[in-house]
Amino acid sequence: MKLVTGNSNRALAESVAAYLELPLTDCTVKRFADKEVYVEMHENVRGEDVFVLQSTSFPANDNLMELLIIIDALRRSSARRITAVLPYFGYARQDRKSAPRTPISAKLVANLITTAGANRVLTLDLHAAQIQGFFDIPTDNLSYAPVIVRDIREHYELANTMIVSPDVGGVVRARDVASRLGVTLAIVDKRRPRAGVSEVMNIIGDVAGHDCIFYDDIADSGGTLVNATEALLKAGAKSVSAYVTHGVLSENAPARIGASKMKELVVSDSIEARPEVAAVKNIRRLTIGPLIGEAIARTASEQSVSSLFD
């Protein structure tokens, strides 16, 4: 088995390699003078089961091209099986035609990964579960929920805790965590007049006196979380925190979170943190290295991956 990584999230790749007690495969992933991606493997991968760990986060296009070219290099080097390990799958928010004459970019990216030569995909908390069906190769969508549940049990008094879905679309995800913890669920009813902008319309559930915890898959601008935090506190919530799988946190989102009344925002390390994110005191990071590492180990040994989340 071989573990290869590009430049998107070296720290996570090293964490996974440490869990697997496996060195990262020696390879070069750099740029030509005109910024084209250049890849070269410095180890023999013929007949190997190779896992390519690469998040397609910012800069999304550069990291996606690195992934595709690494996969192509491995295929042409006669790797036996190539698994694309995508802790964060970019372009997942464009999973349907939301308006006339718009693309379904998630399907396009799935096609590109398959055409490049990937034999299977491992990813984490897809924005929409149906994206699994966009791939014509086996795809495992791992869940961050077990990691979150353990952390909430360690840091919160469950008798006074309530899980909150920041929108109607995330109810199934939030209900799963609430069920695992044995706590109640509330829902924020919001509308999104345009991309990246949200307005809280109503809160479904009695949040008064509770420590409210949002659970969502992506935090990008941070606007939804900050607006919903204000709404929950006005409704009588004792405190408001949030657990998010993928901390995209683009542009001035870290400053917005830091200045908010949110107790803390807990994100995974599926996306490498910018210095601006690391500097915010109420943003905490949980590693998914052991989760990804165990999923890779089970895939390599042909064991069940879904049993990780039972």
Joined tokens for residue 198: 């949200």
Report the distance separating Cα 145 and Cα 286, nearest Å: 12
For 246-301, give the DSSP string: EE---TTHHHHHHTSS-S-EEEESSSPPPHHHHT-TTEEEE--HHHHHHHHHHHHT
Report the distance separating Cα 228 and Cα 199, nearest Å: 8
Q: Which of 190, 234, 238, 261 is catalytic?
A: 190
Backbone angles phi and psi of 149, in degrees to 5: -60, -45
162 touches 205 (CB < 8 A): yes
Residue at token pair 């405190």: 239
Bridge partners of 86? Answer: 123
Reduced to 3 states, what is the DSSP secondary structure of residue 90?
Answer: coil
Reduced to 3 states, what is the DSSP secondary structure of residue 157?
Answer: coil
Q: Choose among 98, 130, 9: nearest CA to 110.
A: 130
281 as an active site residue: the answer is: no
Report the distance separating Cα 247 and Cα 225, nearest Å: 12
Q: Which residues are catalytic?
A: 190
